[in-house]
Amino acid sequence: MNVDNDLQKEVLTRLLHAHPSGLGKEVLDNYRGEKVVASTLAQLQDQGLIQHGHVTCNEAGEHSLNMPIKLSAAGVEAARKLDANK
């Protein structure tokens, strides 16, 4: 699946401004749909930007989420850079 940079920026920014305990299902709220957002979260996890183990993918390619979703230290840094460039 192609990387949607705008969606990645949106998700990182939302997670940056979330409660310190992270986001639950509300992280999936987006007009693109829950599956696209879950896929984006998986890509962010692969990049080390959200804490490992929160997104898994089954053999059918469907993602499941282990809530809450939190940024890793690298994710916080990346999100702060994006937030500063607004």
Q: For 27-40, give the DSSP string.
A: GG-STT-HHHHHHH
pLDDT at 86: 67
Per CATH, the number for 5-84 is 1.10.10.10
CB 39 within 8 A of CB 3: no
Note if the pTM is more than 0.75. Answer: yes
Q: pLDDT tens string for the chain (86 positions)?
A: 456 899 999 999 999 999 888 999 999 999 999 999 999 999 999 999 999 889 999 998 889 999 999 999 999 999 999 888 86
pLDDT at 1: 46
CB 65 within 8 A of CB 55: yes
CB 16 within 8 A of CB 8: no
Helices 5-16 and 73-84 pack at an angle, to 10 degrees, of 110
How many CB atoms are located within 10 Å of the residue 71 CB? 22
